[in-house]
Amino acid sequence: MEVTAEPVKVRSSLVPMAIVAILFFVLGFATWLNGSLMPYLKQMLSLTPLQASFVVFSFYIAVTFTALPSAWLIRKVGYKNGMALGMATMMLAGLLYIPAAQTQTFALFLLAQLVIGAGQTLLQTAVNPYVVKIGPEKTAAVRISVMGILNKTAGVAAPVVFTALIANSFISTSDTVLTSIQIDEMAASLVLPYLGLAIFLGVLALAVKFAPLPELEKESNNTNSVQLIKAVLAKPSLVLGVLALFVYVAVEVIAGDTIGLFALSLGVERYTVMTSYTMGCMVLGYILGIVLIPRVLSQQAALAISAVLGVLLVGFIVLGDTSSFIIANNVLLPLGGAALPDTLLCIAVLGLANAIVWPAVWPLALSGLGELTSTGSALLIMGIAGGAFGPVFWGLASGTGLGQQGAYIVMLPCYAFILFYALKGHKMTRWQ
Asked if residue 303 and residue 349 are part of one domain, the reply reads yes
Residues with Cβ within 8 Å of 55's Cβ and at least 6 positions away in sequence, in order, are 34, 37, 38, 41, 109, 110, 113
Asked if residue 49 and residue 73 are part of one domain, the reply reads yes
Give the residue ranges of DSSP H helices in 134-189: 140-165, 180-188
Report DSSP letters for 210-247, one per residue: HS-PPPPPPPPSSS-HHHHHHHHHT-HHHHHHHHHHHH
Asked if residue 206 and residue 124 are part of one domain, the reply reads yes
Q: Rounded to a whole number, what is the distance in angstroms from the first to the last CA of the chain? A: 45
Answer whether residue 195 is part of any domain: yes
What is the gyration radius of the CA atoms in the chain, in angstroms? 22
Model confidence pLDDT, tens digit, residues 40-96: 787 788 876 567 777 878 888 887 788 778 888 988 888 889 999 999 999 999 999
Name which of 29, 30, 32, 41 is nearest 171 in CA terms: 41
Which of 212, 247, 273 is where one domain is finished? 212
Could you tell me the residue range of the domain that residue 326 belongs to?
Answer: 225-427
Q: Model-level pTM?
A: 0.71
Handedness of CA 302, 353, 32, 25 (dihedral sign): negative
User: Contact, 426 vs 417, CB < 8 A?
Assistant: no
Asked if residue 293 and residue 174 are part of one domain, the reply reads no
Asked if residue 312 and residue 394 are part of one domain, the reply reads yes
Burial (CB < 10 A; 0-12, 13-18, 19+), residue 237, is buried
Asked if residue 259 and residue 178 are part of one domain, the reply reads no
Answer whether residue 147 is part of any domain: yes
Asked if residue 158 and residue 14 are part of one domain, the reply reads yes
Which of 169, 191, 212 is where one domain is finished? 212
CA distances (Å), origin 359, targets 50, 203, 248, 349, 355: 32, 28, 11, 18, 8
Q: How far apart are CA 112 and CA 59, in angstroms?
A: 9
Triad 364, 130, 156: Cα angle to 5°: 90
Name which of 394, 392, 387 is nearest 31 in CA terms: 387
Answer whether residue 96 is part of any domain: yes
Asked if residue 276 and residue 196 are part of one domain, the reply reads no
Q: What is the domain count for the chain? A: 2
User: Contact, 314 vs 411, CB < 8 A?
Assistant: yes
Answer whether residue 220 is part of any domain: no
pLDDT along the chain (432 residues), means of 10: 41 71 85 72 76 79 82 86 93 95 94 93 84 73 76 76 66 61 88 91 90 66 68 87 94 83 75 76 85 85 94 95 87 80 92 89 84 80 84 81 90 96 87 75
Asked if residue 86 and residue 38 are part of one domain, the reply reads yes
Length of the chain: 432
Answer whether residue 2 is part of any domain: yes
Asked if residue 355 and residue 414 are part of one domain, the reply reads yes
Percent of the chain topping pLDDT 90:
27
Which of 163, 187, 212 is where one domain is finished? 212
- 332: domain CATH number is 1.20.1250.20
Answer whether residue 194 is part of any domain: yes
Answer whether residue 100 is part of any domain: yes
Asked if residue 162 and residue 293 are part of one domain, the reply reads no
Q: Residue 29: what pLDDT?
A: 83
Asked if residue 260 and residue 406 are part of one domain, the reply reads yes
Answer whether residue 273 is part of any domain: yes
